[in-house]
Chain A
């Protein structure tokens, strides 16, 4: 079945460092791809999404590009802040199953001042 694999954490960076969190997926057809963020004790917030190959999702300085040839959707940010400390989840919605989400295992990011 469809699945998502993302790099293990925790990832610890200094403020203003460059961030990459790798995400790859296995799916039939053309899934939609997402990044969600979860702050401690809270629910999920949608960070960005992409619905077709070569689409780039972006929000709050984060971006990710839907790469069908490498089945990847890596999250990047040029300069992280302490407030970006959270757990980041890569997810996909299988083709024609609107609303259903399959999540990666999550990557904890800790940004130090």
Chain B
């Protein structure tokens, strides 16, 4: 299957700082990338959908100024959590799609202290 690499796999940051998470499709061109958030023992909730070269589409309730998404190329999308606070601590997972199917990254565990 296709490979999607997400980096970093875990990060600890201080409250008020910003954190960038990268999602790369290694062996295919991803026209669309998705960002999900998962709280402990809960399901994955779609945060936003990004298409290469255009602005991301955010799900209802997701602050676009707080969660900045960039999809500048067909192999890379980034999620930046700006001015992070402890309530932003979560597991963030990306997926990349070039056709009908999506492939997931390994996830990033963000802890804000």
Which of B11-19, B40-48, B65-73 is the interface stretch?
A: B40-48
CA distance A98 to B33 in the complex (A): 11
CA of A103 to CA of B45, assembled, Å: 7
Q: Which of B44, B45, B97 contacts A99 (CB 8 A)?
A: B97
| A98/B100 contact (C-beta < 8 A), A42-B106, A42-B107 known | yes
A97 to B45, CA, bound (A): 16
Partner of B43, one of A93, A98, A100, A104: A104
Which A70-113 residues have C-beta < 8 A from chain B? 89, 93, 98-106, 108
- Would A89 and B44 count as touching, CB distance under 8 A? yes
| B32:A99 contact, CB within 8 angstroms | yes
Which of B1, B44, B95 is most buried by chain A, counting CB atoms within 10 A of its CB? B44
**What distance in Å separates the Cβ of A89 from its nearest Cβ neighbour in chain B?**
7
Residues on B with C-beta less than 8 A from A32 are: 100
Q: B43 touching A101 by the CB < 8 A rule?
A: no
- From B41, B46, B96, B106, A101 is in contact (CB under 8 Å) with B46
Residue in chain B with minimal CB distance to A36: B104
Quick one: CB contact mask for B90-106 with A, threshold 8 Å, 1 for yes?
00010111011110111
User: Between A and B, how many residue pairs show CB distances below 8 Å?
Assistant: 57
Known contacts A106-B42, A106-B43; A98/B101 CB under 8 A: yes
**B89 interface contact, C-beta 8 A:** no
Across the interface, A100 reaches (CB within 8 A) one of B46, B93, B96, B109, namely B46
Verify B42–A105 contact, CB threshold 8 A: yes
Q: Can you name the residue of chain A whose Cβ is closest to the Cβ of B99? A: A98
Enumerate 28 A-B pairs (CB-CB under 8 Å) in ascending A order: A41-B109, A42-B106, A42-B107, A43-B6, A43-B93, A43-B104, A43-B105, A43-B107, A44-B93, A44-B107, A45-B104, A46-B1, A89-B44, A93-B100, A98-B32, A98-B99, A99-B32, A99-B34, A99-B96, A99-B97, A100-B32, A100-B102, A101-B34, A103-B43, A103-B44, A106-B41, A106-B43, A108-B41
